[in-house]
Amino acid sequence: MASVSIKVNGKDVSGEVEDRTLLVEFIRENLRLTGTHVGCDTSQCGACVVHMDGKAIKSCSILAAQANGSEITTIEGLANGSELHPMQTAFKENHGLQCGFCTPGMIMAATDMVRRYKESGRELDETAIREELEGNICRCTGYHNIVKSIQDAASKM
């Protein structure tokens, strides 16, 4: 068994889990934060994306033990209290989601994307957004409104 202590969404949490427990299992099953989803088993769909120490990662492809000592932000921790993150607002206002299953991963990937581009001073145009979404699959929206949502939020972040 592995002892895992992680700061999740600003709160210190700890637990004893089997060493083989994936971070996403720890988040969903131990912490019961079920906003982070699992949509594939080959680390491609991106439904499980969370931030670890400020960077987007796939929580299905890392053990909880590997994340020990880190800070994790999940979709549940993105808003500031009742004030939604601009990316959340943009997804709503631009109809960037339908069934909602890929959405948490999309939003976490998108906020990371905008952060990286802002930090490096690069322009996040439509082509760049589409390339950057390589690790996130959506079956409902055809991506049109996801791209629009990210463009909209990028201008507000």
Partner 1 sequence: MYETVYHRATSTDDAVAKMAEAEDAKFVSGGMTLIPTMKQRLAAPSDLIDLRHIDAMKGIAIDGKKVTIGAATTHAEVASSSELADLCPAICNLAGHIGDPHVRHMGTIGGSIANNDPAADYPAAMIGLGAEIMTTKRTLPAEDFFVGMFETALEDDEIITAVSFTAPDKAAYSKFPNPASRYAMAGVFVAMNGGDARVAVTGAGSDGVFRHTGMEDALSSNWSADAVSDAEVDEGDMLSDLHGDARYRANLVKVMAKRAVAAAG
Partner 2 sequence: MSEGIGARVLRKEDKRFITGSGKYTDDVRETNQCYAAFVRSPHAHAKIKGINKSPAEGMPGVEAVLDGKQLTGDGIGNIICGWMIHSKDGSPMKMGAWSALATETARYVGDAVAVVIADSLARARAAAEAVEVDYEILDAVITTEQALADGAPQLHPEAPGNLIYDWEIGDKEPTEKAIADAAYVCEMEITNNRVAPNPMEPRSAVATYSPSEDHYTLYTTSQNPHVARLVLSAFYQVAPEHKLRVIAPDVGGGFGAKIYIYPEEIVCLWASMKTRCSVKWTADRSEAFLTDAHGRDHVSKARMGFDKDNRIVGFQVDTIANLGAYMSLFSSSVPTYLYATLLSGQYDIANIHCNVRTAYTNTTPVDAYRGAGRPEACYLIERMMETAARDLGIDPAELRRKNFIREFPHQTPVIMAYDSGDFEANLEAAMKAADYAGFEKRRSESASQGKLRGIGMSCYIEACGIAPSAAVGSLGAGVGLWESAEVRVNPVGTIEILTGSHSHGQGHETTFPQLVSDRFGLPSDNVQIVHGDTDKVQFGMGTYGSRSGAVGMSAIVKALDKVEAKAKKIAAHMLEASEGDIVIEDGEVKVAGTDKKLGWHEVCLGAYTAHNLPEGMEPGLKEGAFYDPSNFTFPAGCYICEVEVDPETGTTRIVQFVASDDFGTIINPMIVEGQVHGGIAQGVGQALLEQAVYDESGQLLTGSYMDYAMPRADDLPSYMVSHETTICPGNPLGIKGCGEAGAIGSPPAVINAITNAIGNNALSMPATSAKVWQAINAANVKEAAE
Q: Say if CB 70 and CB 53 are below 8 A apart.
A: yes
What's 135's DSSP letter?
Answer: G
Looking only at residues 112 through 141 of this chain, which bind partner 1 when binding is defined by CB under 8 A?
112-113, 116, 120, 132, 134-136
Closer of 28 and 67 to partner 2 (Cβ)? 28
Identify what 58 binds: partner 2, partner 1, none; CB under 5 to 8 Å per kind. Answer: partner 1
Residue 59 CA to residue 56 CA, distance in Å, equals: 9
Candidate list 19, 93, 125, 126; residue touching partner 1; CB under 8 A? 19
Candidate list 13, 29, 39, 66; residue touching partner 1; CB under 8 A? 66
Q: Say if CB 126 and CB 76 are below 8 A apart.
A: no
What's 30's DSSP letter?
Answer: I
Half-sphere exposure of 143 (CA within 13 A, CB side): 14
- Residues binding partner 1 (CB under 8 A): 2, 18-20, 22, 41-44, 46, 49, 52, 55-58, 60-63, 65-66, 68, 109, 112-113, 116, 120, 132, 134-136
